[in-house]
Amino acid sequence: MGVIHPDITLAETLPSGYYNDSEKYSSLLEKFASTWSFIGLESMLENDNIVPVTIGDIPMILTKSESGYHCISNVCTHRGMILCDKKTTSSTISCPYHGRSFSLSGEFKHMPEFSEVKNFPSSADDLPSAQVVNWHGLLFASFSTDETFEQYINAVEQRMNFFNFSKLVRVEELDRLHKVSANWLLYVDNYLEGFHIPYVHKTLNSVIDYASYQTELFDNAVLQIGEGQEVRDCFEIPEGHQDYGRNIAAYYWWIFPNLMLNFYPWGISVNVVDPLNVSQTNITYFGLVCDSSKIGVGAGGELDTVEHEDQWIVESCNIGMESKLYQRGRYSPTMEKGVHHFHRLLTE
């Protein structure tokens, strides 16, 4: 049902069941635990050292202790109670149900009324954890040992080696949370092609050169490059870099399964696609700025407008996926390579 032909000129898109079937939705979320996942920014832990997060549909807690950052299960090992439902500051994590407590790295510390329990505590009473990496202030976690973080981020690291990550500062005024009434796959599908730009994003289309729009594929990522109409709104790319001499206004990176890193001359807009259920998705934006004088111009200028336009599109497509008369479509070989690549990663 869901096999995607490797030849895009022969391939059909994902069947509509991928977008509206609850069992398929749950099975796809399992892929989140098989790779690295963005879990937050180090700046989120400047005032609080305990922050609830999710990896796919797995409830986790991001913590900060003297030994560093940790990502641990948000489910008590006693009776399955959620431990934390809001960010806070504490030296321990305590279950609000029966008082079991844990360290900030997830080790079991204390449990009332358990003095007579034999072979207790054991390692099973600790909170399961994921490994955590801090990349330029962005925090990532993984349960898997199959892929190193260096392998995961390599394509971005190599291409963006000219970007001044050291100057990035989070500007909370640029943070956004959008609730979208659509399956998360539709949001990613829409992001992965510039095909719709002239039809949906009139303002964006006026500042980029649509004719030169480019898509590149990597093992776990897709890069879209938008060249600008005005040189002043583009990156200053150093000689020796593969993009030297090009007027690039934006690098749009998607990394499997749900992270978008949008590089603009002013900084990075981090977009995280968080599935809530089969037809509801949260899109979280974080703004990291390295040159505030360039905010509001070029391809990274009207982000709220672009987001609302995209939201209208994906919500309308979500309605269309429910139609008994729609099953699946075809790909544009020139403009939908990224969507085809995403669908193949989902179905492999």
How is residue 281 written in tokens? 């998705």
Could you read off the pLDDT of 187-218 as tens digits, one per residue? Answer: 999 999 999 999 999 999 998 999 999 999 99
Which amino acid is located at 242 in the chain? Answer: Q
pLDDT more than 90, % of the chain: 93
What pLDDT is attached to residue 300?
A: 83
Give the homologous superfamily in CATH for domain 36-143. Answer: Rieske [2Fe-2S] iron-sulphur domain (2.102.10.10)
pLDDT tops 60 at residue 293: yes
Q: How far, in Å, CA of 11 to CA of 226, rounded?
A: 26
Mean pLDDT value of segment 11-31: 96
Q: From the CB of residue 292, how many other CB atoms can be counted at a distance below 10 Å?
A: 11
How is residue 142 written in tokens? 């993984």
CA angle 61, 65, 68 (to 5 degrees): 90
What pLDDT is attached to residue 74?
A: 98
What pLDDT is attached to residue 53?
A: 97
What pLDDT is attached to residue 308?
A: 93
Would you kindly state where each structural domain of the chain is located, as residue ranges? 17-30+170-347, 36-143
Which amino acid is located at 96 in the chain? Answer: P
- What CATH number is given for 17-30+170-347 in this structure? 3.90.380.10
pTM of the full predicted structure?
0.95
Q: How confident is the model at residue 83 (pLDDT cuts 50, 70, 90)?
A: very high
CB proximity list for 259: less than 8 A, separation 6 or greater? 37, 38, 270, 271, 272, 273
pLDDT tops 60 at residue 42: yes
Q: Do domains 17-30+170-347 and 36-143 have the same CATH topology?
A: no
Q: How far, in Å, CA of 53 to CA of 45, rounded?
A: 12
What pLDDT is attached to residue 299?
A: 83
Q: How far, in Å, CA of 264 to CA of 290, rounded?
A: 10
The Cα-based distances of 69 to 14, 105, 259 in angstroms read 38, 8, 20
What pLDDT is attached to residue 271?
A: 97
Q: Could you tell me which of 115, 9, 80, 17 has the C-alpha nearest to residue 347? A: 17
The average confidence (pLDDT) of the chain is 95
How is residue 129 written in tokens? 């954890």
Q: How confident is the model at residue 152 (pLDDT cuts 50, 70, 90)?
A: very high
7 vs 230 pLDDT, higher one = 7
pLDDT tops 80 at residue 2: no
CB proximity list for 278: less than 8 A, separation 6 or greater? 19, 20, 21, 22, 25, 183
pLDDT tops 80 at residue 1: no
Mean pLDDT value of segment 297-302: 83
pLDDT more than 70, % of the chain: 99
Write the burial class of residue 176 (CB in 10 Å: 0-12 exposed, 13-18 middle, 19+ buried).
middle
Which amino acid is located at 251 in the chain? Answer: Y
Q: How confident is the model at residue 99 (pLDDT cuts 50, 70, 90)?
A: very high
pLDDT tops 60 at residue 320: yes
